[in-house]
Amino acid sequence: MPTGRFIARACAFLTACALLAPAASAQSPSPVPASGAPAPAAGVAAARYQAAVARIAADAPEAMRRQHAPGMVLGLTDRNGTIAVLSFGFANVEKQEPVTAQTRFGIGSITKSMTAIALLQARDRGAFDPHAAVTHYLPWFSVRTRWRPITPHDLLTHTSGLPDGGIGVGAPYDVLALRDVPTLFAPGTRWSYSNVGYETLGEILAAVDHRPWSDDVRAGVLTRLGMSSTFTDWTFGTLAVSATGYLPRRDDRIPDPRAWDLAQVPITEFTDAAGSVLSTAGDMATYARMILRGGIADGGARMLSTSSYALLTTAATKAGGAGIPGLYQRYAYGLAVSRLDGDRVVGHTGGTGPYTACMEADLSQGFAAVALTNVGYVADRPCTIVEDALRVLRAAHHGAAFPKFPAATDPAQVKNARAFAGTYRGANGAVLTVVAPRRDRLVLVANGMQHSLLPVGGGIFWTDVPRLQLSGVRFVPDRAAHRATALVAGGRWYQTAAYRGPAAPRAPAAWRAYLGHYRSPGAHPYDAALRVQLVHGALVLDDGTPLAPLADGSFQIGSPASGAGRVRFDAIVGGQAQRATLDAAPVDSHIEHPPLTTQSLYRVTTP
């Protein structure tokens, strides 16, 4: 992950409180089909349903531990009503305030489905056509492109070619600033997640209905569903009555995968059609139930026409890609479309600075689950417990044995550890020795001491050697030999005697001015940061992402197909660039609320 490095130690605040809904709601799913799916059979015994809830409650603390979340709330529903709301841990660790059923959390990008619903309601009134040009609704909208005009359909399905993030100040300026941004591909030809695309949709909604996005979603979605505990905006007031969010205390390094040391996330004001809703598990269970019921609210009012509901829940494009959660196999309008054990599932994840979330609705079986946590976007989304809940509820409904909760992965386990072992030598004569004491364990020998190497993905390993913690140890595989023959540690290249790869090319002398650590201005952590290294003759970010030189003097971040954009270095003082400007897309294109599309980072003198 190019933009941030994180360290942490565990916060095991796993005291659980299970708040069941009234007994009347603990029934079999209502026979209301979703999108033509067969209605589930009636007759689940209340005791069996309650046993399922108890089993889910027993699994949740382990899910929290793996996610490093201080607090979590789960909402479980079928088509008939809320089954249970389960709360765990702390809404505020320092004050020891427990999470309750009334605790609000940020739902992040689940907000996108609410924006989509509000636009589809406008479609049902004849006021909105998803296939019209964006400029039909926003005459001032402009983007640098050589392809056909972008449509709301392209934005709703993340196939517009727009980059992920905006300028970072919010709409409408984020949308206006797209006039200086090139599109990444022809609309409709690829899927690439775009938050600024949904900011644009928020502006379209405001133009269509002549009121702000927040008012429209509040009136058209939240009020009609009775979601009275839900806010559309982050303000100092709304966040004061929501869970406190947490992130790893240090954002400049790879975290110890075993444990996180958390710190509070600073409060910020935030209104965004892509992700600013704050809600409770109970309200979100109501929302998910409307999706299960084919767009029909609890009182029987139809929220969407049959055709608009189909657009909300029927895949329009293939999705997925590197760094994208498995839920995103395909994408409709504001909802991902997937399969869970053969069942048709729609849902979405959310990740913002203070919060992560996951909502999945099993349209085949008629169950939905929502998990909301107060650990920020660097954590995995809490979909493991959501999918566990769906599987347990399905088993209860069919009278089958409960499935086992997915086994925890040993953070020290290394697949085929011996393929990494060897003596690695640097150009300056330094030696790093990597040993596999067991076939699934790896250690680094430094100064006569053994230090565990723990995998964190992408061939990168965490170690407790202080000088190597910023970037970790990154192994370079030899595909033909089926083993690593080189590694990068501390920004230096090391190779074994078996290395048969290319020799290091001579790098331009000017590149040395670009090496170093850059951050966005201000004191807020996790905004944006990168380290630039010269490794084996190539300019790279510290996770190994290459910076390929372009004709205009800038550098492509990764491959052009990645949509990760470009970086340009300038303001040379004392032989060192003082500024790195990210252009056209954020460095980390899969983060749901990344920094800026065109953003300046500035050199810092710390390591």
Q: What global pTM score does this model have?
A: 0.84
CA distance linking residue 324 with residue 303, whole number of Å: 30
**The pLDDT of residue 607 is above 70:** no
Mean pLDDT on 181-194: 92
pLDDT at 408: 82
Q: Give pLDDT tens digits for 363-406.
A: 999 999 999 999 998 899 999 999 999 999 999 999 999 999 98
- Residue 124: pLDDT above 90? yes
Query: Does residue 132 have a pLDDT over 90?
Result: yes
114 pLDDT more than 50? yes
Q: Angle 195-209/111-124 helices, nearest 10 degrees?
A: 40
579's CB contacts (< 8 A; 6+ apart) are 518, 569, 570, 571, 600, 601, 602, 603
Q: Match 């386990």 to its residue by tokens.
A: 413
Band the pLDDT of 35: cuts 50, 70, 90.
Answer: very low
Q: Give pLDDT, residue 43.
A: 35
Selected residue with higher pLDDT from 429 and 589: 429
User: Would you state the pLDDT for residue 71?
Assistant: 98
Distance CA 513, CA 524 (A): 26
Q: If you average pLDDT over residues 539-563, what whole number do you get?
A: 85
Does position 30 have pLDDT exceeding 50, yes or no?
no
Share of the chain above pLDDT 70, in %: 86
Antiparallel, parallel or unpaired: β 82-92 and 16-20: antiparallel
Q: What is the pLDDT of residue 41?
A: 32
Q: What is the pLDDT of residue 7?
A: 22
Helix segments in 491-573, DSSP class H: none
Q: For residue 524, is pLDDT > 80? A: no
Given a cut of 50, is residue 546 above it in pLDDT? yes
Does 12 score more than 50 pLDDT? no
Q: Which residue, among 448, 431, 555, has the nearest Cα to 492 in the 3D structure?
A: 431
pLDDT at 46: 54
**Residue of higher predicted confidence among 174 and 597:** 174
